[in-house]
């Protein structure tokens, strides 16, 4: 099946975790892969598709905070798409992604 993503996904380093929350749930989960458009997060109880989440990821250049929407859930995780990120955070995130390639 052809990958229709706008941005390539890069496997995140082992042990990369991020914090996320919905209106009524907070969690820390392992980051499976990342791209400039979104993430795949490992979690046993993901929120429903369409749910909005807040994300916090620490990268070497500093914190990356973003808002995202859950696109789909699978056994063991969820795919999310970024919907809002401050320009400074986007720059830190983009530099981190580039360093993983």
How confident is the model over 84-93, as pLDDT tens digits? 999 999 999 9
Instruction: Give the residue from 18, 37, 22, 25 showing the smallest Cα distance to 97.
Output: 37
Q: How many domains does the chain contain in total?
A: 1
Instruction: Give the residue from 43, 44, 37, 45 showing the smallest Cα distance to 80.
Output: 37
CATH classification at residue 92: 2.40.10.220
Has residue 77 been placed in a domain? yes
Has residue 47 been placed in a domain? yes
**Residues 26, 28, 30, 32: is their CA dihedral positive or negative?**
positive
Has residue 1 been placed in a domain? no
Total-model pTM: 0.89
Has residue 28 been placed in a domain? yes
Has residue 23 been placed in a domain? yes
Enter the tokens of residue 50: 């369409």
Has residue 65 been placed in a domain? yes
> pLDDT truncated to tens, each residue of the chain (101 aa)?
445 556 677 788 888 999 999 999 999 999 999 999 999 999 999 999 999 999 999 998 899 999 999 999 988 999 999 999 999 999 999 999 999 87
Q: Domain range holding 24?
A: 12-100
Has residue 24 been placed in a domain? yes
């Amino acid at each position: 099946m052809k990958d229709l993503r706008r941005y390539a996904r890069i496997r995140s380093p082992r042990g990369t975790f991020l914090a996320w929350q919905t209106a009524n749930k907070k969690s820390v989960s392992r980051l499976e892969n990342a791209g400039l458009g979104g993430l795949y997060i490992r979690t046993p109880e993901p929120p429903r598709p369409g749910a909005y989440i807040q994300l916090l990821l620490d990268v070497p250049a500093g914190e990356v905070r973003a808002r995202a929407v859950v696109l789909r859930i699978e056994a063991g995780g969820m795919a999310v798409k970024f919907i809002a990120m401050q320009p400074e955070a986007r720059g830190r995130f983009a530099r981190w992604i580039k360093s993983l390639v």
